[in-house]
Amino acid sequence: MAPPSCPPLDQLQLVFDGARPPHGSTDLLRHLEDCEDCQVRLAAAPPRVEVLPAFRPEVEEETRLVSPAEGGDTAWPRATGEFTDFTLASGGPPVPRRVGPYEVVGVLGHGAMGIVVKAIDPVLNRFVAVKILTPTLAENDDARRRFVREAQAPARIASDHVVPVYGLGEADDRPYLVMQYVRGQDLARRLKRGGPMPLDEALRIGREVAAGLAAAHAVGVVHRDVKPGNVLLEELEAGAVNPGPGGWERVRITDFGLAREDGGPVITRHGVVVGTPKYMSPEQITGAPVDHRTDLYSFGLLLYQLVVGRAPFHATSLVGFLDQHLYAQPTPPSECVPGGVPDWLDQLIIRLLRKQPADRVQTAAEVVRELDEGTARLNLLADRMV
């Protein structure tokens, strides 16, 4: 039984979960930091949300949050200003309690570039995703320029299929990027279920990714890292009028950290291969000029995986992947899927995966058109068979 002054349990849970934070969420966090009764209530509740160890009454040693001063990750030194850093004793990345004005309530992901946290915007009372550059990279001018580019590129794109960026900030000499919080999962996690995706779902995901790329290319932005991990499936909210066949509402492309202007200057060091090997175009590998058609090749790899259930190329080494992108021809999807795939879709994927950019489908807008027309024919055929 909660003391009369304590908030309801569902309000506390919504601070960490939900599509929108509850009213007065920052006050709820402050209360939870200091109230052991509420920490116990939250810990005893059915495990519906992930709660940061800092807000738990008792935490096992291997997941206890410790400050860097107590032996945490020395790559993330304890700050004295707007960051209050903690790190997992197991060696995980630090979990900042606050980033500038934003109150952190969860961890969305982490990698070599930094950490992405879920946070509350105290002014607009909404969840946001905040990407924080590691201190080591914050001292690198190239990394800083890439970080700024990650904010600037999507800011120019008018599309529901690109994650909006709200702004850039800096605290204690560490840049951070504030984006829309997209509740859901990335496409890579969805694909881990294995096997080909239902055709209607594969076509809709492909169509929405292509639409996002078309909007980016229309303003001269080339993503250069199109892959399932950079495609988010936004979770269906109550009252949504356009749900996807897999229970999601829309697709959003994220992570424009490698983006550049079509035909613009390359700021990457000479001889450095930029991208994800499994999804790189031949021209990225060889260092040839790169334009919007490099995204179409990577999109072809993604669409192949959606339809077939696996990537067209397989290798056990970086060199193996690069060699296959340069020289190997993919097996047509129609030969990999029991029952085959529509001829038009088979040909579209093969054309997207041509080694020479001039031999591919030339624009993302053309891809959208072909997917729309092909889907319409499939729907008409299905209606006739009813």
Beta bridge partners of 332: none
Which stretch of DSSP H or E encloses residue 177?
strand 174-180
CATH: 3.40.91.50, 1.10.510.10, 3.40.1170.10, 3.40.50.12160. Which one for 184-385? 1.10.510.10
98 — pLDDT class (breaks 50, 70, 90):
confident
CA distances from 298 to 277, 289, 368 (A): 10, 16, 15
Q: Please check whether the domain covering 77-181 is classified as CATH 3.30.420.10.
A: no
The span from the CA of 135 to the CA of 128, in Å, is 21
Find the mean pLDDT for residues 156-161.
91
Domain ranges of the chain: 1-58, 77-181, 184-385
pLDDT at 309: 92
Known catalytic membership, residue 225: yes
The span from the CA of 131 to the CA of 289, in Å, is 30
From the candidates 17, 85, 186, 225, which is the catalytic residue? 225
DSSP string, 228-252: GGGEEEEEPPTT-SS--TTSEEEEE
* Calculated CA dihedral for residues 51, 53, 56, 59, nearest 10 degrees: 130
Both tokens of residue 278?
A: 């499994």
Q: 117-154 in b/e burial notation, b at 16+ Cβ within 10 A?
A: bbbbbbeeebbbbbbbbbbebbeeeebeebbebbbebb
Question: Tens digit of pLDDT for each residue in 339-359?
Answer: 889 999 999 999 999 999 999
Strand order in the sheet with 231-235: 184-186, 231-235, 248-253
Find the mean pLDDT for residues 146-165.
87
CA distances from 371 to 68, 223, 381 (A): 52, 21, 15
Both tokens of residue 190?
A: 């969805």
Could you tell me the pTM of the whole model?
0.82
Closest CA to 178 of 233, 99, 110, 239: 99
Look at residue 85 and tell me whether its pLDDT is greater than 70: no
